[in-house]
Amino acid sequence: MLRWIIPIILYILIDIYAFQAIKTITKNPFLYGVYIVSSIAILALFIYAITSAEARSDPKMMYIFGVFLALFVPKLIAVIALFGEDIIRVFVGLFYKIGGGSDDSFMPSRRKFVSTIALGVAAIPFAALLYGMIKGKYNYKVLQYTLEFEDLPAAFDGYRLTQISDIHSGSFDNPEKVAYAVDLVNQQQSDLILFTGDLVNNVVGEMSAWKNTFASLKAKDGVFSVLGNHDYGDYVSWDTPDKKTENLEALKTLQKQMGWELLLNESRTLKRGGETIKLVGVENWGEGGFKKAGDLEKACENVSAQDFTILMSHDPSHWQSQVKKHPKNIQLTLSGHTHGMQFGIEIPGWFKWSPVKYRYQNWAGIYEEFGRYINVNRGFGYLGYPGRVGIWPEVTVITLKKKGKTA
């Protein structure tokens, strides 16, 4: 709780500052009351959500954070505008004071026009964040890429992979939308479906309502998966270490029951037309304090330096740290983890931005270095903020092509 004291104090100060815009525009005491009561109520609920272990495990509590965010971000934007106006007011006041003006003219009153504009601009993120919670979180997009490789075995020319990541089943609240998304994955009719980690938020029980839905995923060469940082149960309290271990083992068993093949620092051989490629899956490995259970060397024990290899690794920081220059022929890495922060701006082929770019070098989409590729899937589900704005839930379809080969 102590680490939240300063942010809460800042929130209160920003709230008081933003209230000045309301006071400038209207003198209606009823509106004042609505503003004050709503601010206190959402702050109280937010404090409850972050201090109660029971609340933190309730997916409905994410909506408290969502509403908190939808109110706080617009207020922050309004405060920036008001602060800019206050700087001008101070300089204008000093100018009049030095010029011999009266004491009453030192600080000119706030301009209603500026406050109106500030609130108008602040309404944009407010509406966007509400849309993200109501519609955006299930606004699934199919993103298709074609990647060419000189050393791709000819038999795999045209081979299609569908990748999904970060399901976070404990967050879902709409069975019809989730079923639609799973059908969307199957409609791609790919040769292989690959899931790159974070099946749950914390505990295996979150999958109870969704097991049959995700068991319906089918591909010619199967469904393969790896673990993400949330799958280990590291972010909740356990009565005993054994309970935590049991949860992880139950999650592994669940994936087998769904017909998925979970790769735990190991590899598989994919065969087609007498030729092969390798599929490698590692446990979570991430920079910045995240679990480093992944063992790439162990996973590649049965992989030769010449094998065309596809790697599944949940955290894209693994690619930067160990994979992109690895001596094994890891031509394509599939990751997730970042969610694209579930917030950003994307104009396909032109512009892509999210605050998460300042944390992860590879945070959404296809990247290439040293002739090798990584795709960072934006995620299937959501966590924390119960919505998505500008960075939509994603189903990735990658077609492998042999460079120079024509149909």
State pLDDT tens for residues 228-270: 999 999 998 899 999 999 999 999 999 999 999 999 999 999 9
Give, in order, the Cα–Cα distances in Å from 82 to each of 15, 20, 39, 77. Answer: 12, 8, 19, 9
Q: What residues of the chain score a pLDDT lower than 50?
A: none
pLDDT confidence of residue 61: 81
- Shared domain check, 153 and 87: no
Last residue of a domain, one of 104, 134, 164: 134
Q: Determine the Cα–Cα distance for residues 160 and 155; give it in Å rounded to an integer.
A: 12
Listed in sequence order, the residues at least 6 apart from 358 whose beta carbon sits closer than 8 Å to its beta carbon are: none
Residues 172, 100 within the same domain: no
Query: What pLDDT shows up at residue 348?
Result: 85
Same-domain status, 227 and 201: yes
Domain edge (last residue) among 134, 150, 182: 134
Q: Which residue from 376, 331, 368 is spatially nearest to 149, judged by alpha carbons?
A: 331
Beta bridge partners of 262: 225
Helix (H, G, I), strand (E, B) or coil at 347: strand
Give the per-residue pLDDT at 56.
Answer: 59
Quick one: the chain helix, strand, coil %, rounded to 5? 45, 20, 35
Instruction: For residue 234, give its domain range.
Output: 138-402
Number of domains observed in the structure of the chain: 2
Q: Which residue has the tokens 């206050």?
A: 86
Interatomic CA distance for residues 299 and 234, integer angstroms: 23
What integer pLDDT is reported at residue 156 of this predicted model? 98
Residues 130 and 171 in one domain: no
Q: Single out the residue of 198, 195, 194 nearest to residue 171, CA to CA.
A: 198
Say how far apart CA 171 and CA 236 lie, in whole Å: 15
Determine, yes or no, domain membership for 294. Answer: yes
Q: Are 314 and 196 in contact (CB under 8 A)?
A: yes
- What pLDDT, on a 0 to 100 scale, did the predictor assign at position 99? 64
pLDDT at 108: 57
Same domain (yes/no): 300, 323:
yes
pLDDT at position 104 is 54
Which of 101, 134, 167 corresponds to the end of one domain?
134
Whether 103 and 20 share a structural domain: yes
> pTM, whole model, 2 decimals?
0.90
| Same domain? 245 vs 336 | yes
Question: Residue 106: exposed, middle, or buried by beta-carbon count in 10 A (0-12, 13-18, 19+)?
Answer: middle
Q: By three-state DSSP, how is residue 86 classified?
A: helix
pLDDT at 172: 95
d(CA 404, CA 260): 34
Query: Are 95 and 146 in a shared domain?
Result: no
